[in-house]
Amino acid sequence: MAKINRNYLKLPGSYLFSTIGKKVREYAAAHPEAEIIRLGIGDVTQPLAPAVIAALHSAVEEMGQADTFRGYAPDLGYEFLRKAIADYDYGRIGCSISPEEIFVSDGAKCDCGNIQEIFDTDSRIAVCDPVYPVYVDSNVMAGRTGEYDADLQRFRDVIYMPCTEENGFAPEFPEEVPDLIYLCFPNNPTGAVITREALQGWVDYANKNGAVILYDAAYEAYISEENVPHSIYECDGAETCAIEFRSFSKTAGFTGLRLGYTVIPMALTLEGVRLHDLWARRHGTKYNGAPYIVQRAGEAIYSPEGRSQITGQIAYYMENAKLIREGLREAGYTASGGVNAPYIWMKTPDGLSSWEFFDFLLENANVVGTPGVGFGPHGEGYFRLTAFGSRENTLRAMERIRHL
């Protein structure tokens, strides 16, 4: 008699963004006249850069000719892309990462969700609170988190590291030493960053305790200030304790194109086994590579032309971030983030809960955001807005919020 993986039943409700999507669809159906502005899910709105479009067309042409057609991609990704990544994203900032240490994939979400598989099921994980739900949910499914305590809104066996106004939304070393530490900087959802010195502290902590840091750097392209590290490999010793995830989704608007990568240094071993080998085995067994045409599109963002175009896109979104942050402050709200990240983290007004404010904003301003509590109990009383809308919609949303 077949049985289900009962760990799935521990998950409270559906995936956060599926729930939001459903609520918005229902509201829209009931209010067909409402012009809803979506600043909730972190989805981009600007079209792909001309250099990316040109690369896609060109690669599509290759796929239509017998002599240039490409079938299965190499397990770890095409060399042309891995080399561009190693040179530009790492070599340029003085990090020694080789193409062989880079695994190309269809996105950082998939990699962040799947990486836990290569670790023992008894591993103790530590996450920030609030946190991107994928880190926790994927470990729930694997049976690493224990039961959900509905009162505490926490899984019993997860180590939560509160990120609050008091500590500047920066996690502190937990009392109990974790095996796996999920860190995300610039942070989703708070938009907070970490200094190079503070990140070095985490690297030292991990190396000292034999922990592995799973470092999500999906938003590094949005960093505007000095002394904010773009990669964890800027820290000494990170190559023996850290895996890094990167995404083309936010860097170059690839949310609908799907491309990301994971770095696992050859020097990162546990029990004498290279984690690189384990992930390569997983990649080879359960994955079949990102599409050739998409890998060519990814390569295009590293050309001078592509570079310039996506820098323009990021500047566009960061101008939105500024409009939101300053608009909120002018309207009397408390807001942070939005300087090195496309996310603005605001306090809900009048003691409203996150979901109450979600409903309030949807109904009274027709603006969709993300309830902070959806990212963890310490997100209660907070609300996330994203800078990924169009300028027009961002301006309209702020105008509506100002007049609430």
Using CB under 8 A, which residues numbered 198 to 217 contact its own copies?
209-212
What would you report as the CA-atom Rg of the chain, rounded to the nearest whole angstrom?
A: 21
Asked if the peptide bond before residue 178 counts as cis, ω within 30 degrees of 0, the response is no
Other C-beta atoms closer than 10 Å to the C-beta of 91 total 14
Positions in 130-149 near its own copies (CB under 8 A): 133-134, 137-138, 141, 143
- Asked if 399 interacts with its own copies (CB under 8 A), we say no
Asked if residue 395 binds its own copies (CB under 8 A), the reply is no
Residue 194 in tokens: 């970490």
Q: Does 156 bind its own copies (CB under 8 A)?
A: no
Among 132, 222, 292, 375, binds its own copies (CB under 8 A): 292
Q: Which of 10, 70, 307, 396 binds its own copies (CB under 8 A)?
A: 70
Which residues inside 165-184 make contact with its own copies, applying CB under 8 A? 179-180
Nearer to its own copies, 131 or 290 (CB): 290
Residue ranges in 185-303 assigned as alpha helix (H): 196-209, 248-252, 275-286, 292-300
* Cβ at position 194, least distance to its own copies in Å: 21
Residue 318 to residue 87: CA distance in whole angstroms: 26
71: contact with its own copies by CB under 8 A: yes
Footprint of its own copies on residues 243-272 (CB under 8 A)? 253, 255-258, 270-271
Asked whether position 306 contacts its own copies by CB under 8 A, the answer is no
CA angle 138, 143, 145 (to 5 degrees): 80
In whole angstroms, what separates CA 171 from the centre of its chain? 17
Element (H, E) at 262: strand 260-263
Quick one: 153 or 353, whose CB is closer to its own copies?
Answer: 153
Nearest distance from residue 122's CB to its own copies, in Å? 7
Provide the greatest CA pair distance for the chain: 66
Sequence-distant (6+) residues with CB within 8 A of 54 are 300
List the interface residues with its own copies, window 49-68 (CB under 8 A): 50, 53, 56-57, 60-61, 63-66, 68
| Distances in whole angstroms, Cα of residue 125 to Cα of each of 261, 327, 342 | 22, 37, 27
Residue 376 binds to its own copies (criterion: CB under 8 A): no
Shortest distance (Å) from residue 288 CB to its own copies = 5
Judged by CB under 8 A, which stretch of 36-44, 223-231, 302-310, 311-319 contacts its own copies? 36-44
Stretch that binds its own copies, among 113-121, 186-194, 310-318, 335-343 (CB under 8 A): 113-121
| Residue 331 makes contact with its own copies by CB under 8 A | no
Give the nearest distance from C-beta 280 to its own copies in angstroms. 8
Question: How many angstroms separate the CA atoms of 28 and 38, rounded?
Answer: 12
Distance of CA 363 to the CA centre of its chain: 28
Residues 215-234 that bind its own copies (CB under 8 A): none
Structure tokens at 300: 């295009």
